[in-house]
Amino acid sequence: MIYTAPLTDGNWMQIVDHYFDCVHWQDDERNHQYETPADWIWQEYGCKVDMATRQYFFYDEQQRNWFALRWL
């Protein structure tokens, strides 16, 4: 089953800000593990980001709930 959550400008910008402040740069060195915030979201929550439909897609309800508590 696929679970969704709405992608809004507000929640996406919170994720992008967090990614560049806390994940992308670590101790003044670039973290090469992730290329984009969407890559990080996939690793952390098993979530596919679809900018065209403005949705987050999850394959696990618990991951979606954890994401919603943190970002929505």
- Please give the model's pTM, rounded to 2 decimal places: 0.84
| Rounded average pLDDT over 9-28 | 87
Q: Write the pLDDT tens digit of every residue in 28-69.
A: 667 678 889 999 999 999 999 999 999 999 999 999 999 999
Instruction: Write down how long the chain is.
Output: 72
For residue 13, CA distances in Å to 1, 19, 24 come to 27, 10, 15
Strand (E) or helix (H) holding 14: helix 9-18
- Cβ-contact 4, 61 below 8 angstroms: no
1: DSSP letter: -
